[in-house]
Structure 1
Amino acid sequence: MLRVVKILALLVAMTAIAAFAGYRYWESRLEAPIAVDEETLYEVPSGAGYHRVVADLANRGVLQDEWAFRLLTRLEPESIPRLRAGEYMLEPGMSGLELLELLGSDRVVTYSLTVPEGWTFRQMRAHLDAAPKLEKRTRDLSDEEIMALLEREGRHPEGWFFPDTYRYHKGMSDVDILRQALTRMERILEEVWEQRSDDLPFETPYEALIMASLIERETGAPEERREIAGVFKRRLERGMRLQTDPTVIYGMGERYAGRITRADLREATPYNTYTIDGLPPTPIALPGRASLEAAVDPLPGDTLYFVSRGDGTHHFSRSLREHNNAVNRYIRNR
Structure 2
Amino acid sequence: MKRLIALLLMLFITAALAPALAQEEKELNIFTWEGYIDAETLKNFSDDTGIKANYTTFSTNEEMLIKMTSSASEYDLILASDYAINMLRKQGMLLKLDKALLPNFENISPAFLSQYYDENDEYAVPYTSGTPLIIYDDSVVDFEITGYKSLWDERLEDSIVLIDDARNIIGITLKTMGESFNTVDDETLKSAEEKLMKLRPNVRSFNYDTPHYDVLSGECSVGYMFTPFVMLALMENPNLKIVYPEEGLGFGIDSLVISKDAPHPENAHALIDYLLDPKVGAHIAQWQLYLSPNAASYEYLPDDLRNNPAINIPQEKLADAEFIMDLGEYESIYQAIWQRFKLAQ
TM-score (norm 2): 0.26
Greater fraction of residues in strand: 2
Q: Decide which structure has the larger Cα Rg and report it.
A: 1
TM-score (norm 1): 0.27
